[in-house]
């Protein structure tokens, strides 16, 4: 059973606008959450993370929000740029194992 | 230049043959991981290793084997027992496997078995 879910397989956004990618999880024991960005035929690259003791973490244009009561994680990209077009995976960890969502393909339209 | 290398990028094998995928890292990371990605699915953990000479099964270990004789290397063997071996395989490493550190991924190997 998928413990980390990304229910939107794809998202299109105009350049300069906000991109919001969502992620839901079922395991309340997850204590660390991450977002990865992946281009075709390449490995994912780490983008941003958040510990379960926080509800927000910001790094430049990227902000991750964590709502533990709703078991929901979101990534905001502001402003979106064409180079942000990629597949975004959210991941959660419990101890020494990571669990990944199925990914959301983001297209930023110039 | 520190990083993770996987070779080859593309690999073709006949059904019934074992094949070994290479993964090397020079990041001095203790933990290493193997994932498999299939179309429309997230990354699924095959095996992971927190330290040399130790490794643990992930969610889909059946039909796979690994070794961790050196800190830098974590090769994955896809055996003939793996029913659906055709997939994109990703190797990753992290500073430590038991703490909250991000993983660094290699470029992946696309394995096609016919």
Of the candidates B43, B38, B96, B33, the one whose C-alpha atom is nearest the C-alpha of residue B66 is: B33
Average pLDDT over residues A86-92: 95
Average pLDDT over residues B90-110: 85
Question: For B75, what's the count of Cα atoms within 13 Å in the CB-facing half-sphere?
Answer: 13
Interchain pair B42, A93: CB under 8 A:
no
Q: From the candidates B38, B43, B61, B90, which should be mutated to test the interface with A, based on the most A CB atoms within 10 A?
A: B43
State how far the Cα of B46 lies from the Cα of A83, in Å rounded to an integer.
Answer: 31
- Decide which of B6 and B101 is more confident: B6
Average pLDDT over residues A54-81: 97
* A4 close to B (CB below 8 A): yes
Q: Could you report the per-residue pLDDT of A6-22, keeping only the tens digit for each? A: 999 999 999 999 999 99
Cβ-Cβ contacts under 8 Å, A93 against chain B: 100
Query: Is A86 in a helix, a strand, or coil?
Result: strand
Cα dihedral value B14, A39, A105, B32, nearest 10: 70
Average pLDDT over residues B62-85: 95
* pLDDT confidence tier of residue A94, bands split at 50, 70 and 90: confident
DSSP A37: E
Q: Do residues A106 and A13 lie in contact, with contact meaning Cβ atoms separated by under 8 Å?
A: yes
Interchain pair A98, B45: CB under 8 A:
yes
Of the candidates B108, B98, B38, the one whose C-alpha atom is nearest the C-alpha of residue B76 is: B108
- HEC string of B7-38 equals ECCEEEECCCCCEEEEEEECCCCCEEEEEEEC
The pLDDT of residue B1 is above 70: no
């Amino acid at each position: 059973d998928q413990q980390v879910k990304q229910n939107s397989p794809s998202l299109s956004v105009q350049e300069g606008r906000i991109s919001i990618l969502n992620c839901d999880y079922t395991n309340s024991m997850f204590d660390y959450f991450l977002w990865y960005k992946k281009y075709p035929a390449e490995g994912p690259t780490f983008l941003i993370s958040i510990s379960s003791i926080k509800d927000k973490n910001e790094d430049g244009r990227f902000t991750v929000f964590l709502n533990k009561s709703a078991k929901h994680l979101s990534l905001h990209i502001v402003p979106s740029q064409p180079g942000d077009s990629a597949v975004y995976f959210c991941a959660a960890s419990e101890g020494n194992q990571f669990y990944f969502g199925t990914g959301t393909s983001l297209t930023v339209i110039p | 230049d520190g990083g993770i290398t996987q070779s080859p990028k593309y690999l073709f094998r006949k059904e019934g043959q074992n094949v070994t995928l290479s993964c090397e890292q020079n990041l001095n990371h203790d933990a290493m991981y193997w994932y498999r990605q299939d179309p429309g699915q997230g990354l699924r953990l095959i095996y992971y290793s927190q330290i040399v000479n130790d490794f643990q099964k992930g969610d889909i270990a059946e039909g796979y084997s690994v070794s961790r004789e050196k800190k830098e290397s974590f090769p994955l063997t896809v055996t003939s027992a793996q029913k659906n071996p055709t997939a994109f395989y990703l190797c990753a490493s992290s500073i430590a496997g038991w703490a909250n550190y991000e993983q660094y991924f290699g470029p992946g190997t696309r394995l096609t078995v016919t």
